[in-house]
């Protein structure tokens, strides 16, 4: 099962988030910014979230956005659509098989321990 989330993130990172195109990071050439992006992406992976699209016509300058906790200052941002893949291990299934969370045999079991 997938659940949809909306995050407000820097517009300049759209190509990186959607197409895995890191050229903007090379262009900006800021090691701290690159570290913030990598940390943010690791957190998304840990939370089982995937950025799938950008909401058109949402570009605006904002002070508070979803990367500010990673040291990214106020900037032009857009809204991004993310999916959370909700899966849990099913103890009745063959080893390594994943079943939807609502069918898992034991409560709280998930792929990433959350």
Q: What is the pLDDT of residues 36-79, one digit of tens each?
A: 999 999 999 999 999 999 999 999 999 999 999 999 999 999 99
C-alpha dihedral sign at 59, 36, 72, 69: positive
Could you tell me the two tokens for 77?
Answer: 């941002």
Q: Within a domain: residue 94?
A: no
User: How many structural domains does the chain have?
Assistant: 1
What is the pTM (predicted TM-score) of this model? 0.73
pLDDT of residue 113: 39
Q: Within a domain: residue 52?
A: yes
pLDDT of residue 96: 47
pLDDT of residue 86: 77
Of 110 and 72, which is predicted with more confidence?
72
Q: Within a domain: residue 41?
A: yes
27 CB contacts (<8 Å, ≥6 apart)?
Answer: none
pLDDT of residue 87: 64
Q: Within a domain: residue 112?
A: no
Farthest CA pair distance, the chain:
50
Containing domain of residue 7, as a range? 2-87
Which range has the top average pLDDT, 47-51, 86-90, 98-102? Answer: 47-51
Instruction: Provide the mean pLDDT of the chain.
Output: 82
Q: Within a domain: residue 23?
A: yes
């Amino acid at each position: 099962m997938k659940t949809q989330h909306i995050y407000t993130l820097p517009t300049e990172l759209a190509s990186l988030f959607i197409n895995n195109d890191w050229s903007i990071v090379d262009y900006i050439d800021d090691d701290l910014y690159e570290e913030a992006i990598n940390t943010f992406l690791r957190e998304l992976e840990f939370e089982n979230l995937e950025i799938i699209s950008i909401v058109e016509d949402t570009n605006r300058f904002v002070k508070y956005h979803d990367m500010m906790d990673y040291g990214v200052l106020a900037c032009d941002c857009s809204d991004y659509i993310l999916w959370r893949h909700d899966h849990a291990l099913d103890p009745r299934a063959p080893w390594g098989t994943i079943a939807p969370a609502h069918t898992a045999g034991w409560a709280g079991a998930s792929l990433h321990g959350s």
